[in-house]
Amino acid sequence: MTTSTRAGRREWVGLAVLALPTLLVSLDVFVLVLALPKLAVSLHADGTEQLWIMDTYGFMVAGFMVTMGTLGDRIGRRKLLLVGATAFGLASVAAAFSTSAAMLIAARAVLGIAGATLAPSILALIGTMFTDARQRASAIGIWAGCFTVGAIIGPMVGGFLLEHFWWGSVFLLGVPAMVLLLVIGPKLLPEYRDETAGRLDLPSVGLSLAAILPAVYGVKELARDGVHPLPVTALVAGIAVGYVFVKRQRTLDEPLLDLRLFAGKAFRTALGGMLLFSMLGGTTMLFVAQFFQLSLHLSPVGAALGLLPGMALPPSASSPLPCWPGGSRPAR
């Protein structure tokens, strides 16, 4: 029987280093909603390009999250986090100084792939640093709270930047935090690899991407243009490949995605709540922010103030990330 070691000052300072990028990445996601009208005019982006500018980040995160989570077990979670932070910082600069809608969409795609490395790496490192169940629960709560705070203050920060600077400034918010993480992270954060993890199952990686990306694309296109052959085909293909992916995971000794996670009621509830909040909150913010600025002709700060009451609703209620049953964290 092992005894959990309580975390000390080093671990809590390390948590602060991990929490700051989380806060700023969350803030960065929500400020884009306010920046969209200005950048659309500057880059001559049509309606379709505006949707891709908004959606590409989440599109890539959804496609690569599972792969990045298990990749960190094999190459090292700190290493993956630092690689992701580097890519996120560079892509943020590219997005800020984009000269065309296509360039911005490409930069947002790289941001999404880099963003897919951050959340699983940070959560895994928190689990490694905080072995005491109570401390781990507190640490995860702080991490989740930073995302919530970023969502609440994002519109106000974005409104201020857009009032005083060009639209690209909203993409630079996370760069200082990534630089801080790259400088301090190697000194404070432990490296951890799962020595029991087998080789990365490349067919599963391909299946996960082939399932998620067409499905997300199909849903997005159906929502925009209604029922057409291409998005319907993409959605059906994604679902079919997803079925093959799930069947493969059940037969592997070292699956890319441990399906036992979904057996836990707390996990399913938290996941469903976060999905619901993201869908409703993101959609509402996008339309309301554009209505305030394009129809009511409010300034970015005025639009941000109008959004604030809705953002103050407790999104944290939908994201209770509990400590794992038994005080332990799943390998994947």
DSSP secondary structure of 160-191: HHHHHS-GGGGGGTTHHHHHHHHHHHHHHSPP
Confidence of residue 102 (pLDDT cuts 50, 70, 90): very high
pLDDT value of position 98: 93
Residue 148 half-sphere exposure toward CB, CA atoms < 13 A: 18
pTM, to two decimals: 0.72
For tokens 């309301």, the residue is 288
pLDDT digits (tens, 9 = 90+) for 134-184: 888 888 888 878 877 777 777 778 778 888 888 898 888 888 888 888 888
Counted domains in the chain: 1
In this structure, of 61-70, 156-165, 307-316, the range with the lowest mean pLDDT score is: 307-316
In a domain, 41, yes or no: yes
Round to whole Å and give the CA distance between 292 and 289. 5
In one-letter notation, the amino acid at residue 66 is: V
Confidence of residue 8 (pLDDT cuts 50, 70, 90): confident
Residue 17 domain boundaries: 9-201+252-327
Round to whole Å and give the CA distance between 67 and 225. 31
pLDDT value of position 330: 42
pLDDT value of position 218: 87
pLDDT value of position 244: 94
pLDDT value of position 237: 94
Confidence of residue 185 (pLDDT cuts 50, 70, 90): confident
Confidence of residue 307 (pLDDT cuts 50, 70, 90): low
Q: What is the average pLDDT score of the chain?
A: 79
In this structure, of 48-57, 191-200, 254-263, the range with the lowest mean pLDDT score is: 191-200
Q: How far is CA 181 from the centre of its chain?
A: 17
In a domain, 34, yes or no: yes
pLDDT over threshold 90, residue 110: yes
In a domain, 220, yes or no: no
Round to whole Å and give the CA distance between 141 and 146. 9
In a domain, 223, yes or no: no
In a domain, 64, yes or no: yes
Tokens of 200: 């990365």
Round to whole Å and give the CA distance between 159 and 170. 9
Q: What share of the chain is helix, strand, coil (3-state, %, to 5)?
A: 80, 0, 20
What CATH number does residue 97 fall under? Answer: 1.20.1250.20
In a domain, 208, yes or no: no
In a domain, 284, yes or no: yes
pLDDT digits (tens, 9 = 90+) for 235-289: 999 999 999 999 998 888 777 777 777 777 766 776 677 677 666 766 676 677 7
* Region of residue 76 (left: phi > 0; alpha: psi -120 to 50; beta: else): left
Residue 304 and residue 159 in contact, taking contact as beta carbons nearer than 8 Å: yes
In a domain, 159, yes or no: yes
pLDDT value of position 234: 92
The listed range with the strongest mean pLDDT (5-9, 25-29, 65-69, 178-182) is: 178-182
pLDDT over threshold 50, residue 209: yes
What's 45's DSSP letter? Answer: -
For the residues 50-70, what does the mean pLDDT come to?
81
Round to whole Å and give the CA distance between 144 and 37. 29
Share of the chain above pLDDT 90, in %: 14
Q: Any alpha helices (H) in 226-292, and if so which ranges? A: 229-251, 265-290
Burial 165-198 (b: 16+ CB within 10 A, else e): eebbbbbbbbbebbebbeeebeebbeebebeebe
Tokens of 157: 């920060």
